């Protein structure tokens, strides 16, 4: 016989594993400028849930401001999403931002070399990407190693850059969750099947 308590336990367990409050992981206006050198990126700590990364990048007086930061996802964690948020600005009607990711605690790719083969992925984001999870698009960057789905536990280094002359703000939400355990997934499935059975009997 189906027990509603099992379904309740399954949902409570899943909520405990995935839930966490939004937090600002880094805000350049208060935490300081991100590193401008990929081999010495700024270390950032991400927690479970929503992690806001807020910064400004661009080119002024011939000087390019590239932002490099690195973080490590603990065992059992995964990066589920990178949502481009309102407040991200673009320079001109065809303005593009750039985001790239490399495995490890450094970005070794030459920013002016034009060879993305060492990147896990990259993407040119624009105003059409606001309120969109761009992580799947990053994974499809041409010439990069590529990936599908969430990024698993490990260290990653990100590179963000405005491609036009001037300064532009970016607002990104890095979503982190616990990798679902098979037992929890099975409990959820069993609970949902049970609810369906009860509805058919009712």
Average pLDDT over the chain, rounded to an integer: 86
Q: What percent of the chain has pLDDT over 70?
A: 80
pLDDT, position 179: 97
pLDDT, position 22: 76
**What are 154-186's pLDDT values in tens digits?**
999 999 999 899 999 999 999 999 999 875 545
Distance CA 171, CA 32 (A): 15
Residues 85-113, mean pLDDT to the nearest whole number: 94
pLDDT(1) > 80: no
**What are 10-33's pLDDT values in tens digits?**
333 444 444 446 799 999 999 999
pLDDT, position 93: 77
Q: How confident is the model at residue 188 (pLDDT cuts 50, 70, 90)?
A: low
State the residue for tokens 């065809």: 94
Selection from 79, 78, 75, 116 nearest residue 99 by Cα: 116
pLDDT(199) > 70: no
DSSP string for residues in 50-117: EEEEEEEEEEETTEEE-EEEEEEEPTTEEEEEEEEPTT---SSTT--EEEEEEESSS--S-TTT---T
pLDDT(2) > 50: no
Residues 37-49, mean pLDDT to the nearest whole number: 98
For residues 151, 156, 159, 160, the Cα torsion angle rounded to the nearest 10 degrees is 50
pLDDT(42) > 90: yes
Residues 57-62, mean pLDDT to the nearest whole number: 92
Structure tokens given for 78: 């995964």
Residues 123-143, mean pLDDT to the nearest whole number: 97
């Amino acid at each position: 016989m189906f027990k509603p308590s099992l379904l309740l336990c399954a949902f409570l367990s899943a909520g405990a594993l995935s839930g966490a409050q939004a937090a600002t992981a880094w805000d350049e206006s208060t935490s300081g400028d991100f590193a401008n050198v990929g081999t010495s990126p700024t270390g950032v700590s991400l927690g479970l849930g929503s992690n806001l990364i807020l910064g400004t990048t661009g080119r002024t007086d011939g000087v390019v401001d590239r932002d490099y930061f690195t973080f490590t996802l603990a065992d059992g964690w995964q990066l589920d999403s990178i949502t481009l948020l309102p407040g991200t600005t673009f320079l001109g009607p065809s303005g593009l931002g750039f985001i790239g990711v490399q495995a490890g605690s450094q970005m070794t790719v030459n920013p002016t070399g034009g060879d993305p083969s060492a990147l896990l992925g990259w993407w040119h984001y624009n105003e059409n990407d606001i309120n969109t999870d761009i992580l799947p698009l990053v994974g499809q960057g041409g010439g990069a190693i590529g990936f599908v789905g969430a990024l698993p536990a490990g260290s990653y280094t990100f590179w963000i850059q405005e491609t036009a002359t001037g300064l532009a703000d970016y607002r990104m939400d890095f979503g982190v969750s616990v990798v679902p355990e098979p037992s929890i997934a099975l409990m959820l499935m069993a609970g949902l099947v049970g609810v369906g059975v009860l509805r058919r009997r009712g």
